C-alpha cells in the first residue's frame, strides 16, 4: 500500500513534469531566440552562444512605442473583460436559474454571433465608427471585442452557475436574503474558480485581438501591443525582426502569467479559508 502510494506520488511528479515540459519547451525556445544576437538567430543550440539583450532594447526603443502599447492593451483588455463579465453574469444567471421562453434560442444566438469571421465584420464597423468619430478611441476597440468576449463569458458562466446547487440559494432566500443577495453571497463565491477562469480566458482573448485594433486606430499612441508587434521591422523590408518579435512575445506573455499568479493566490486562499471553516 505505501509502496503504491509512493509510486503514485512519483507518477504524479512525472505527470507534472510532462505537462510543464509540454507547455514550456516551445516557450523556452522563444525565450532563447529572443536572447540571441541578430547575427546568430539561425543557431539551434539550446543556450544562446552569447546572451544579448539587443532584442529587448529594440522592443523598448522609443520609436516602437511598446510601453504605451502595453498600457493600451491593458486598458482595452481590462475594460472588455470587466464589461463582458458584468453583462455576462446577469445573462448567465438568467440562463442558469430562471425559466423563460426562447432560452435555447437565445443561447444559440449568443454563440452564433461569436462565430462570424472578424474579417467580415470589420469594414461595416469601421464605416460606422468613422461616421460617429470613434476612430482612435478605446471604445472603438472595446465594443467590437465584446463580439467574442461576451459569448465566451456567457457560456462559461452559465455552466458554472448551473453547477451550483440552487437549494443553497433557496435556503438563503428562506433565511431572508433577497435573490440578488443570495446570488452574490452564495453563488459567486462558490463559483469563484469558474468566474476567475472565465475572466482569464476572456482577458487573454481580448489582449491578443489584432485585426480590430489595427483597423480602428491609426495613431501610434493608441495602438495595442499586437499591433505594435506587427510594426516591428528589420533594417530593410526583407529582414524579419524575428528576435525582437520573440522578445515582444515574451514581454506580452509574462505580465499575463504574473497577473494570474497574483490573483490565483487570492482566489485559492479565499477558497481554502472557506473550506477550513
Q: What is the DSSP string of 110-126?
A: HHHHTTS-HHHHHHHHH
Cα(60)–Cα(56) distance, integer angstroms = 6
Query: Are 213 and 6 within 8 A, CB to CB?
Result: no
Residue 258 has which C-alpha cell? 504574473
The least CB distance from residue 42 to another protein, in Å, is 5
Cα–Cα–Cα angle for 230, 80, 135, nearest 5°? Answer: 60
Question: Which x/- pattern, by CB under 8 A, does the window 137-166 give for another protein?
Answer: ------xx-xx--xxx-xxx-xxx-xxxxx
Using CB under 8 A as the binding rule, the residues of this chain from 189 to 218 that contact another protein are: 190-191, 193-194, 196-198, 200-201, 204, 207-208, 210, 214-215, 218
- Pick the stretch among 22-30, 47-55, 74-82 that binds another protein (CB under 8 A): 22-30
The least CB distance from residue 184 to another protein, in Å, is 14
Cα(244)–Cα(99) distance, integer angstroms = 53
User: Which is closer to another protein, CB of 12 or CB of 51?
Assistant: 12
Using CB under 8 A as the binding rule, the residues of this chain from 66 to 85 that contact another protein are: none
Using CB under 8 A as the binding rule, the residues of this chain from 234 to 263 that contact another protein are: 234-242, 245-246, 248-249, 252-253, 256-258, 260-261
Among 4, 5, 167, 273, binds another protein (CB under 8 A): 167
Using CB under 8 A as the binding rule, the residues of this chain from 98 to 117 that contact another protein are: 98-101, 103-104, 106-117
Residue 78 has which C-alpha cell? 481590462
Cα(47)–Cα(131) distance, integer angstroms = 53
Task: Name the DSSP letter for residue 2.
Answer: H
Amino acid at each position: 500500500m505505501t509502496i503504491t502510494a509512493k509510486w503514485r506520488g512519483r507518477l504524479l511528479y512525472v505527470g507534472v513534469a510532462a505537462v510543464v515540459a509540454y507547455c514550456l519547451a516551445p516557450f523556452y525556445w522563444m525565450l532563447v531566440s529572443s536572447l540571441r544576437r541578430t547575427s546568430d538567430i539561425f543557431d539551434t543550440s539550446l543556450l544562446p552562444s552569447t546572451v544579448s539583450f539587443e532584442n529587448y532594447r529594440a522592443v523598448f526603443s522609443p520609436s516602437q512605442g511598446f510601453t504605451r502599447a502595453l498600457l493600451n492593451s491593458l486598458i482595452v483588455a481590462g475594460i472588455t473583460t470587466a464589461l463582458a463579465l458584468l453583462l455576462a453574469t446577469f445573462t448567465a444567471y438568467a440562463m442558469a436559474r430562471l425559466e423563460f421562453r426562447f432560452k435555447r434560442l437565445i443561447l444559440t444566438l449568443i454563440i452564433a454571433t461569436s462565430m462570424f469571421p472578424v474579417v467580415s465584420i470589420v469594414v461595416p464597423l469601421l464605416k460606422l465608427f468613422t461616421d460617429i468619430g470613434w476612430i482612435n478611441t478605446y471604445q472603438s476597440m472595446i465594443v467590437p471585442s465584446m463580439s467574442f468576449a461576451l459569448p465566451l463569458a456567457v457560456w462559461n458562466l452559465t455552466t458554472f452557475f448551473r453547477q451550483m446547487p440552487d437549494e443553497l440559494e433557496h435556503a438563503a432566500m428562506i433565511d431572508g436574503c433577497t435573490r440578488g443577495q443570495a446570488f452574490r453571497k452564495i453563488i459567486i463565491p462558490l463559483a469563484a474558480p469558474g468566474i476567475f477562469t472565465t475572466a482569464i480566458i476572456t482577458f487573454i482573448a481580448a489582449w491578443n485581438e489584432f485585426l480590430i485594433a489595427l483597423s480602428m486606430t491609426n495613431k501610434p499612441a493608441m495602438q495595442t501591443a499586437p499591433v505594435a508587434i506587427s510594426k516591428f521591422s528589420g533594417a530593410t523590408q526583407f529582414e524579419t525582426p524575428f528576435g525582437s518579435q520573440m522578445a515582444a512575445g515574451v514581454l506580452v506573455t509574462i505580465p499575463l502569467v504574473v497577473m494570474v499568479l497574483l490573483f490565483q493566490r487570492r482566489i485559492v486562499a479565499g477558497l481554502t479559508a472557506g473550506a477550513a471553516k
